[in-house]
Amino acid sequence: MNKLKDQIDDYLRFGQLERGLSENTITAYRQDLYEFLDFLNDENFTSWPTEATDIDAFLARQKDLNKASSSISRMISSLRKFYQWLARQNIQKLNPMIEIDAPKKERRLPVALTEKEIEDLLAQPDINKNLGIRDRALLETMYATGMRVSEAINLKLEDIHAELNLVKVFGKGSKERLIPISSVAIDWINKYLEEVRMPLLMKKGKNTEVVFLNNRGGAMTRQAVWQLIKRYCQQAGITKDVTPHTLRHTFATHLLENGADLRVVQEILGHSDISTTQIYTNLTQKHILKVYRETHPRT
């Protein structure tokens, strides 16, 4: 099985170095392919299966483990790409994945906060404390730009063009994009930089270009952002299942509700396919119907 594991590792290196895939994508591929490898080991395979029935047996095990259809779809996608790579590398030409159909995706609407809820959330950090100022600046930035949490925690000083109200963001696959940012968010960033970040770095004797820092002067983690958002939601009495990505959903929903063009929102979010952005139109249609029912005299 070592040979098969080595081939998986070669494929992951190819994805990272040649295709420029993000660390999160590589981690997902690794998890899926190693799970497939465990199955092959249990079933005494010594080479990659060439029959679709063997792939079906693996997927049936995933269903027995109560894996969500979205997880199984991702696993099928991972295997499909991997088998294509095996063929290109002349490791194995027979590809059983061409006979495998992905399960129908459960299309769940993303959770978005109302304008009142986002106002309540933004008001929660205690701005009399250093971490409160940092958290307010971070939340304002995420809501003002719709950036992913990974993009926010990797934001650098040189990426902020305050005079132009623009920030430079490096998204999935290291794709760069310039996106607008509100004056309100810029003001909070400046307050944080001057009153909190600079004194912290001087105290800790550190030097970094990353904007948002933890109390030790290092870069924040995704988990830390998730935890602070959960805490502030509890304080605000928001009962929705809110994650850092919810701020991104909320940003897109509020833009569209207020008349933004779908393709502009697509560009800001960094979606390569507009169908990814179109899911937000379902949320805005619900909003339009609600407004209609509340305001039309004969409803």
76, 102 in Cβ contact below 8 A?
A: yes
Q: What is residue 195's DSSP assignment?
A: I
Count of C-beta atoms within a 10 Å radius of residue 246 = 23
Residue 269's contacts (CB-CB under 8 Å, 6 or more residues apart) are 146, 248, 252, 276, 277
Closest CA to 59 of 97, 28, 2: 97
Class of residue 102 by CB neighbours under 10 A (exposed 0-12, middle 13-18, buried 19+): middle
Helices in the chain by DSSP H: which ranges? 2-17, 23-42, 52-64, 69-88, 115-122, 130-145, 149-153, 183-192, 198-204, 222-236, 244-257, 262-269, 274-295
CA distance 289 to 237: 26
96, 40 in Cβ contact below 8 A?
A: no
**Looking at the annotation, which residues are catalytic?**
148, 172, 245, 248, 271, 280
Dihedral angle, C-alpha 148, 152, 158, 163, nearest 10 °: 80
